[in-house]
Amino acid sequence: MVRLSPYDAPHLVVRHAEFRLRVEGNVREVADSWFRFNPGHLGTGAVAVHSVNYPDRHVTAGDGVLRIEPYADPDSYVSHDNGRLVVARPGRGRAERARATFLVR
């Protein structure tokens, strides 16, 4: 089990509320901020990020929103944008890559 913090905001954590992902500090429902990495659906080296307190759901992207649901979209990237988790394609710049990089705690 791990907690994720955006590289560009290490004092915050990724959590879910009402099945939507967000970035916050001082999370009261700690189980909402714990995730587990399991083998992904696309072969070697791929991972699926599952919610610990909803183990039948994993992080997915659709319609520009990140949720924990029972399906996957392999072409999406998770990125941090001012306290929100969004679907994005990281650019080549360091700041853009940092927003799509997370610390495992």
pLDDT tens digits, one per residue of 41-56: 555 666 668 889 988 8
DSSP letter assigned to residue 2 = B
pTM of the shown model: 0.68
DSSP H or E stretch at residue 99: helix 94-99
pLDDT tens digit sequence for 53-93: 988 887 877 777 878 887 655 545 677 888 887 777 666 77
CATH class for the region spanning 4-99: mainly beta
